[in-house]
Amino acid sequence: MADKRGLEKLDFGALSIEQQQQLRQFKINTRINNEKYLREHPETEALISDFLRDVFLKRPTDIREYAADYFTDPNLGLIIGSKLQGDPADTGTD
C-alpha cells in the first residue's frame, strides 16, 4: 500500500544479502564517478550556480519556461566561460 507521498513501503526481503551488497557497491561507485566527473568539469558547478542565482533573483513565474530559455541561450557557453575565468567585467548582475 502506498503512503501519502505515493511511495511503496520498503520490502527489506526483496533483495538477497548478495544483491544488497551489490547495490551498495553500485551506489558507492556511482557517487565516486559523479564526484570525478564534477571535478573534471568545473563548468557544471558554475552553470548550476549561475542558473540558481538567476532564479532566486528573478523569481520567474514559469520556472520550466525560464529554465528552457536559460539553457538554450546561444551565449551560455561564453557566459559560463567568463565566470570560470573570473572575468572582472562579469559582476553577476545581469
Q: Is the distance from CB of 89 to CB of 56 less than 8 angstroms?
A: no
Condensed to tens digits (0 to 9), the pLDDT of residues 52-85 reads 999 999 999 999 999 999 999 999 999 888 888 8
Most confident of 13-17, 40-44, 59-63, 90-94: 59-63
Rounded mean pLDDT, 43-60: 94
Q: Is the entire prediction scored with pTM above 0.75?
A: no
Q: Is the distance from CB of 43 to CB of 84 less than 8 angstroms?
A: yes
Q: How far apart are CA 29 and CA 38, in angstroms?
A: 14
Task: Parse the chain into domains and list their residue ranges.
Answer: 42-84
